[in-house]
Amino acid sequence: MAEEQKITITEERQNLYFGLIDRLMKCPNGQEPETLEAEPELLDAGFIHTTLQVAAAFAHQGNSEGAEFLIHIARELSKQLGLYPQIPNQE
């Protein structure tokens, strides 16, 4: 089992992440890539970590649609950033 990487996020940066997550939740369907591309300096492992924390909170609050949306965003972004493990097809 790989050791989980410790991510340190300042309160200021976390607030920036929360703002971007809020804009993602409010943007029109299909505008998510443009919303993310508007703030490339925030697209990192810390943003993905924060997005997954918010998704977990949504799930606990019964907002499964919001949680699934954020998990999808985090998964796609981590693939783009090369942070998502690639599992080869076994045929």
How high is the pLDDT of residue 9?
85
Long-range own/partner contacts, residues 14-23 (CB < 8 A, 24 or more apart): 14/46, 14/50, 16/42, 17/42, 17/46, 17/47, 17/50, 17/51, 18/50, 18/54, 20/47, 21/50, 21/51, 21/54, 21/70
How high is the pLDDT of residue 89?
63
Q: Whole-model pTM?
A: 0.83
CA distance 77 to 33: 10
| 91 residues of the chain, pLDDT tens digit each | 444 456 788 999 999 999 999 999 999 999 999 999 999 999 999 999 999 999 999 999 999 999 999 999 999 999 998 887 766 665 5
